[in-house]
Amino acid sequence: MPKIALVHDWFNEAGGAEKVVREILYCYPEADVFCLFDFFNKENRDYYLFGKKTHRSFIQRIPFAKQRYRNLFPLFPFAIETLDLKDYDIIISSSSCVAKGIKRKPDQLHISYCHSPARYAWDLKEDYLRVAKTKATKIVLTYFFEKLRKWDFKSSNRVDFFIANSVFVQDRIKKYFERESTVVYPPVDVEMKEITQSPRQVYVSVSRLVTYKNVDLIVEAFRQMPELKLEIAGDGPMRKRITKNLPSNVTYLGYIDDTTKRLKLSQAKAFIAAATEDFGISIVEAQSYCTPVIIPAVGGYKETVNQNTGMFFQQKTVEDMIATIRAFHSGNKVFTRDHFEENIKPYCVERFRSELKAFIDEKISLHLASK
């Protein structure tokens, strides 16, 4: 049996990328796991990593890394290159930042599941610079974003085969790395849920509170619609900015566990997001509760939502968002369970496992046969 290493950017908060890691480990339980840092609690470790311990970089030992790790991004390329994988035959990376840049020997096979080329190095750079507090901060960030962009392109040559998590990401891999890729959509629990019959009155947004999610724009939209109620859930570096001076019709729930998230999705009038998302697992999950989604007409959302399961706003602006939400709220459009079920069934967990394993096993067989 070939010796397999699985490399993920980091384990801190559990999200869609960590669900992908879990399914990769389900397919390849013998794999050893490497990352920049790992602050998972026991519950997350048992669920997402099947109790496995990880091999970590020096970032783990920096005192404030757990809370302020995003400030350490200039160190990430060097840190990922310090991880020693020379004893492994196969490398599988799960990458939205630097994991795909792991160093490898010429006789090792590297397959990268790409959630996204590093967002702040490429097309979402301006979104991150938008919230810089000073001109000096913007200058420093611009410098390091440019360095990361050059490294990101150069290190893409360390990958033998790319797997993209959507057609949108496939196009970005082609544009930024000049590489071909195969699309395997990420795994989602698409089983249709039992829902309550009580009237749905509250809009919901659940996401990490990071810059590119644009939750601050959603809050500003509802500030101008005091007659509508919004609940936002999640945590992250934008929390203080987003929760400062919230209007009375917006409630911040903080970080919520999966049980509470399921309850909120089942009771929401609609789920709202405003990111340029690579895929959007939460958007698909919301549809399994027969909950319509209101999202921008960009990115992976165009692959996971249609006119029978949600509404699109054309520009990521407060004005466009308000117009779309008000049109949804006052409209008489009927969303049916059959439409939701038909739309999301291609993203099931079993399909992911089958497609991913077939692709990787084929590449491993060809690699071993050539040695």
156 burial level (CB within 10 Å; 0-12, 13-18, 19+): buried
Check pLDDT > 70 for residue 160.
yes
Check pLDDT > 80 for residue 197.
no
Check pLDDT > 70 for residue 185.
yes
Residue indicated by tokens 């309850």: 263
The residue-averaged pLDDT of 269-286 equals 92
Per-residue model confidence (pLDDT) at position 332? 80
Helix intervals (H) in the chain: 16-27, 42-48, 65-68, 76-81, 125-130, 135-155, 167-172, 215-223, 239-243, 258-267, 281-287, 301-304, 318-330, 337-344, 349-370
Residues 320, 326, 332, 333, CA torsion sign:
positive
Per-residue model confidence (pLDDT) at position 145? 84
Angstrom distance (rounded) from CA 257 to CA 245 = 25
Angstrom distance (rounded) from CA 303 to CA 283 = 11
Q: How far is CA 314 from CA 103, 130, 306, 320, in A?
A: 41, 20, 14, 7
Per-residue model confidence (pLDDT) at position 139? 81
Per-residue model confidence (pLDDT) at position 129? 64
CATH of domain 202-347: 3.40.50.2000
Tokens of 312: 């699109």
Helix (H) / strand (E) containing 244: none
Q: pLDDT tens-digit profile of 109-147?
A: 999 999 999 887 777 666 666 666 677 877 887 788 889
Q: How confident is the model at residue 211 (pLDDT cuts 50, 70, 90)?
A: confident
The residue-averaged pLDDT of 279-308 equals 93
Tokens of 90: 């196969």
Residue 241: count of CB within 10 angstroms of its CB: 14
Residue 269: count of CB within 10 angstroms of its CB: 20
Per-residue model confidence (pLDDT) at position 335? 92
Per-residue model confidence (pLDDT) at position 358? 98
Per-residue model confidence (pLDDT) at position 164? 97
Per-residue model confidence (pLDDT) at position 137? 76
Residue 75: count of CB within 10 angstroms of its CB: 18
**DSSP characters for 184-215?**
-PPPB--PPPP---SPP-EEEEE----GGG-H
Span(s) in the chain for CATH 3.40.50.2000: 202-347
Q: How confident is the model at residue 364 (pLDDT cuts 50, 70, 90)?
A: very high
Per-residue model confidence (pLDDT) at position 216? 93
The residue-averaged pLDDT of 40-55 equals 96
Mean pLDDT of the chain: 92
Tokens of 357: 């394993």
Angstrom distance (rounded) from CA 201 to CA 269 = 6
Angstrom distance (rounded) from CA 318 to CA 224 = 9
Per-residue model confidence (pLDDT) at position 127? 65
Task: Give the SS3 label for residue 55.
Answer: strand
The residue-averaged pLDDT of 72-91 equals 95
CATH of domain 4-187+348-370: 3.40.50
Angstrom distance (rounded) from CA 253 to CA 54 = 31
Check pLDDT > 70 for residue 353.
yes
- Residue 94 near residue 24, CB atoms below 8 Å: yes
Checking 322-330 for CB contacts under 8 A at 24+ apart, the result is 322/221, 322/224, 322/225, 324/294, 325/203, 325/221, 325/225, 325/228, 325/270, 325/272, 325/294, 326/225, 328/270, 328/292, 328/294, 329/228, 329/269
Residue (of 12, 14, 9) closest to 256 by Cα position? 14
Angstrom distance (rounded) from CA 155 to CA 95 = 12
Per-residue model confidence (pLDDT) at position 146? 87
Per-residue model confidence (pLDDT) at position 138? 76
Q: How confident is the model at residue 208 (pLDDT cuts 50, 70, 90)?
A: confident
Amino acid at 60: Q
Beta bridge partners of 232: 205, 252
Tokens of 232: 């936002």
Check pLDDT > 90 for residue 227.
yes
Q: How confident is the model at residue 331 (pLDDT cuts 50, 70, 90)?
A: confident
The residue-averaged pLDDT of 229-245 equals 92
Q: pLDDT tens-digit profile of 241-276?
A: 999 989 999 999 999 988 899 899 999 999 999 988
